[in-house]
Structure 1
Amino acid sequence: MSTIQAVLRRKPNSAGLFPLAIRLTKDRKSSYLYTGQYIDEKFWDSKHSKVKKSHPNSKRLNNLLLKKLSEANDTLLNSDSSSTDQSVNKIKKAIVGEDKKEFFEVSEIFLGNLLKRKKFNQHYNQNKRIEIFKNFIGRSELAFTDLDVTLLKGFEAHLLFERKVSPRTAVNYLMLIRTIYNFARKEFNIDYNNYPFGKGKIQIKFPETEKIGWNKEEVQQLETVEGITHAQQQAVHVWLVSFYFAGVRVGDVLKLKWSDFKDGRLYYRMGKNQKLVSLAVPEKAQIILNSYEVEKGKKDSLVFPFLKGTNLKNEKEVATRVKTITRNLNRRLEIVAEKLKIDKKLSMHIARHSFGNISGDKIPIQMLQKLYRHSSITTTINYQQNFMHKETDDALDSVINF
């Protein structure tokens, strides 16, 4: 004999809400089908196994429970009338669908593909986001039919108001969930009817982000800073080399070798997109490089010492070390900014923003595209508009300056 019942599971998510589920019981063994919906314990009527009317969405939630109960009951009736005995887990699979993948199962495949493509930093960040989502819902399985607008809006609110992340970071989480959902649709034929993204549902909109770089006078102070430690001076050198080469990413700066410099030019392949880059070595950059020439004679020796002892052929090891080194460099740069009494953020990525800020309207956008190594000029325009203020400033001044 098999039984089914709507229940409130005693496993709250990180928001303190409890999941609504259907309990399947056979031969004193139980399994649970989750609806993807969560409520406060005070709204659950345990006597009648339904959501209390005091809940603002009680009617919709109770209709959902009835639908799930009906689906489960049909399968259980077939199981009880079948000549072959079936376990509760087999019955659950019959209800959910034997071949259907659930969200976190597909997530593991998606993350595994990132590792195969040697996207180690991306894998690290995306894996952390999936774990945070998993902790929010309070369980390790999530059917795609349960991944609906209500759940995602609740997760977004959790990110913004409980975890206190920025709106852009919250969008990154939703983008990851959408990417995995699309991957599941393509690779595992997940039904499109329940797709929670798009018009009238969850729409991905990027909030404008504030990009503030250092100005010319501030960079000059950084170039001549005194009274700092050797470690802080090295951090400043790495930052300035990045800045002098139009904002080369920190990972690429740390991996620079003496063999990358030929005839007064820098030749290197970008780590992000494997593009080949050639830039003339500015005089200011050459002065810094000259101070690190101790091991220049050694074949393929690194310019900066930070990755010394790292197996450069092991891309995962390099990616992990670069992340740690960057964190340390940023801490040292923050201390330097405090000593200079400059009330602006100073990190390795700010070198790129500072180049954009100082270049402003001075350089044609097509040339900036080459310097930034952007594939699309649209990317350059969108990036540089954060620093191009002359026209708007002049327009404002023309109106109010009377």
Structure 2
Amino acid sequence: MSALKIILYKNKKLSNGENPVRLRVYFGKERYISLGMSAKPTEWNEKQGRFSAKCSNYEAKNAILRNHLARAEQLLSEIIESGKPFSIHDFKSKFQGNDKKITVLGFLDQRVTELIHEKSIGNSNKYKQLRSILQQYKSGEYLFSDIDYTFLKGFESFLLARGSKKSNVHFYMRTFRALVNEAIRRELLDAEEYPFATQFNKNKYSFAHLKNDYDPKPLPMDELERLKVFPIHQYPHLQHSYDVFIFLLRARGLNFVDLCNLTVENLVAGRLNYIRQKTGKLYSIKITSEMYEIINKYQGELYLFPILDDAPTKASARYWHVRKALRLFNKDLKEISAIMGFKKKMTSYTARYSYTNVLVQNNVPVPLIQQALGHANIATTQHYIKKFANEEVDKVDAFI
């Protein structure tokens, strides 16, 4: 099969009843580039790859096609002589005269600006962090077509060598993958050059092994029971944080950021209905008497909890307002766990881990746990609860 050929693409019919004329590029796989021309099957010479004499102005149109093919052959020859891997994206950009290169770091800057405008401050900060660490790993200008297994494996080694935890490296790689996916959607990289492993190509780079140090820290069942009778009257300055933690726990391990944004409109017919910011998934939780007691203690005209009452309106400033509140909350939880003599310090995530652990210890079926936690697939839930199950098996081993 010839590497380059002009064809009538019969798999698609235009609104005028004609088929588009395209340049077929074969380099291990067929790809097609539109030439902005079309014809009916009766107006096309299949063997020659040209307009037939039945088409009006066929000679002028064929001259244009010959120029297109000559240009394509020249570009392909230059790529082969350069010794670089063939990239359909680069070939297409040069062929169409749109070969302005967007670097990886440049696209990161673009995404940060876009996300700030979209008021997605958390995600914009993730890309800022990725850009900063990539700049340290490899400065200068490099393109998405330069991102391959060797680049990513080297980036992983760089992060581990500087002391990053596996979970942090996993975070950077996950963010990088999201950036590459967006680059493909915007045709900055051809899908065939995707550098990350998939179920169809396991020889590309995978970061699945970087989650080995995942270590959720739930409160053991006995400590959770003791927490219910925490002597809060002796520590009134911890009252608000204690109540918030209990509410998070009873609301299926509600995320602190989501708690901050709860309003009176989220209370519907005895249920707490809200959309989780991280996933966009709708949750509907029955409000217990204990939850109502806490809500009634703090509910304002708008928010259920007063954390955002005096928050600035600018999205970036509002984000940091919540982050500051979270730091203070975790500081109080650390003090509570110290007072109680718990083995591990508490954080806002302890509520979610502890809620999950209670379900696991009470033999709740995994599909129900998946539904309660709002996981999109059961594999996520199984990974989430694996640590808790292992700890119970360890206790059984102690009897041997």
Range of TM-score over shorter length: 0.5 to 0.7
Q: Contact 1:241/1:253 (CA < 8 Å) preserved in 2?
A: no
Quickly say closer, same or farther: Cα 1:239–1:394, change in 2 above 3 A: closer
Q: Give the CA deviation at 1:211.
A: 1.5
Return the alpha-carbon distance in structure 2 between the equivalents of residues 336 and 309 of structure 1.
26
Aligned match of 1:171: 170
Aligned match of 2:139: 138
Q: What is the letter of the counterpart of residue 216 of structure 1? A: M
The farther-off stretch of 349-358 and 366-375 is 366-375
The reply on whether 1:120 has 2:121 as its aligned counterpart is yes
Aligned match of 1:234: 240
The farther-off stretch of 226-235 and 120-129 is 226-235
Q: Give the CA deviation at 1:217.
A: 2.3
Quickly say closer, same or farther: Cα 1:223–1:318, change in 2 above 3 A: farther
Return the alpha-carbon distance in structure 2 between the equivalents of residues 383 and 265 of structure 1.
26
Return the alpha-carbon distance in structure 2 between the equivalents of residues 347 and 173 of structure 1.
23
Return the alpha-carbon distance in structure 2 between the equivalents of residues 184 and 263 of structure 1.
44
Query: What are the residue-to-residue correspondences of 1:342-361 with 2, within 5 Å?
Result: 342-361=342-361
Of the candidates 187, 194, 202, which is equivalent to residue 205 of structure 2?
202
Quickly say closer, same or farther: Cα 1:221–1:392, change in 2 above 3 A: closer
Q: Contact 1:254/1:307 (CA < 8 Å) preserved in 2?
A: yes
Aligned match of 1:271: 277
Q: Contact 1:360/1:389 (CA < 8 Å) preserved in 2?
A: no
Query: What are the residue-to-residue correspondences of 1:249-260 with 2, within 5 Å?
Result: 249-260=255-266
Q: Contact 2:145/2:189 (CA < 8 Å) preserved in 1?
A: no
Quickly say closer, same or farther: Cα 1:271–1:174, change in 2 above 3 A: closer
Aligned match of 1:222: 227
Quickly say closer, same or farther: Cα 1:229–1:305, change in 2 above 3 A: farther
Question: Please, what TM-score do these two structures have when normalized by structure 2?
Answer: 0.65
Quickly say closer, same or farther: Cα 1:193–1:379, change in 2 above 3 A: closer
Return the alpha-carbon distance in structure 1 between the equivalents of residues 326 and 119 of structure 2.
19
Return the alpha-carbon distance in structure 2 between the equivalents of residues 191 and 257 of structure 1.
44
Return the alpha-carbon distance in structure 2 between the equivalents of residues 157 and 389 of structure 1.
29
Return the alpha-carbon distance in structure 2 between the equivalents of residues 274 and 193 of structure 1.
30
Aligned match of 1:382: 383
Give the structure, 1 or 2, with the largest relative contact order (CA under 8 Å, sep 6 or more).
1
Q: Deviations over 1:245-275 (max 9, x none)?
A: 1101111212223443355432333323343
Return the alpha-carbon distance in structure 2 between the equivalents of residues 193 and 369 of structure 1.
34
Quickly say closer, same or farther: Cα 1:180–1:277, change in 2 above 3 A: closer
Aligned match of 1:56: none
What secondary structure, in the 3-state scheme, does the structure 1 residue paired with 2:336 have?
Answer: helix
What secondary structure, in the 3-state scheme, does the structure 1 residue paired with 2:186 have?
Answer: helix
Quickly say closer, same or farther: Cα 1:177–1:271, change in 2 above 3 A: closer
Q: Give the CA deviation at 1:202.
A: 2.5
Aligned match of 2:217: 212
Q: Give the CA deviation at 1:231.
A: 4.2
What secondary structure, in the 3-state scheme, does the structure 2 residue paired with 1:346 have?
Answer: coil
Q: What is the letter of the counterpart of residue 216 of structure 2? A: K
Q: Contact 1:260/1:266 (CA < 8 Å) preserved in 2?
A: yes
Return the alpha-carbon distance in structure 1 between the equivalents of residues 281 and 99 of structure 2.
45
What secondary structure, in the 3-state scheme, does the structure 1 residue paired with 2:383 have?
Answer: helix
Return the alpha-carbon distance in structure 1 between the equivalents of residues 189 and 280 of structure 2.
34
What secondary structure, in the 3-state scheme, does the structure 2 residue paired with 1:241 have?
Answer: helix
Return the alpha-carbon distance in structure 2 between the equivalents of residues 345 and 197 of structure 1.
36
Aligned match of 1:338: 338
Q: Contact 2:275/2:282 (CA < 8 Å) preserved in 1?
A: yes
Q: Give the CA deviation at 1:393.
A: 5.9
Q: What is the letter of the counterpart of residue 283 of structure 2? A: V
Quickly say closer, same or farther: Cα 1:366–1:149, change in 2 above 3 A: closer
Aligned match of 1:325: 325
Q: Contact 1:333/1:346 (CA < 8 Å) preserved in 2?
A: yes
Q: Deviations over 1:159-202 (max 9, x none)?
A: 1121x221121122223333323433442343578654444453
Question: Please, what TM-score do these two structures have when normalized by structure 1?
Answer: 0.64
Quickly say closer, same or farther: Cα 1:395–1:219, change in 2 above 3 A: closer
Query: What are the residue-to-residue correspondences of 1:1-400 with 2, within 5 Å?
Result: 98-139=99-140, 141-162=141-162, 164-190=163-189, 196-198=195-197, 199-206=202-209, 207-208=211-212, 209-226=214-231, 229-292=235-298, 295=300, 298=301, 300=302, 302-311=303-312, 315-362=315-362, 363-388=364-389, 392=393, 396=397
Alpha carbon RMSD of aligned pairs, Å? Answer: 3.4
* Count of matched residue positions in the alignment of Structure 1 and Structure 2: 301
Quickly say closer, same or farther: Cα 1:273–1:158, change in 2 above 3 A: closer
Quickly say closer, same or farther: Cα 1:261–1:201, change in 2 above 3 A: closer
Quickly say closer, same or farther: Cα 1:124–1:195, change in 2 above 3 A: same
What secondary structure, in the 3-state scheme, does the structure 1 residue paired with 2:219 have?
Answer: coil
Q: What is the letter of the counterpart of residue 360 of structure 1? A: V
Aligned identity (percent) is 23
What secondary structure, in the 3-state scheme, does the structure 1 residue paired with 2:389 have?
Answer: coil
Aligned match of 2:69: none
What secondary structure, in the 3-state scheme, does the structure 1 residue paired with 2:283 have?
Answer: strand
What secondary structure, in the 3-state scheme, does the structure 1 residue paired with 2:277 have?
Answer: coil
Return the alpha-carbon distance in structure 2 between the equivalents of residues 249 and 129 of structure 1.
24
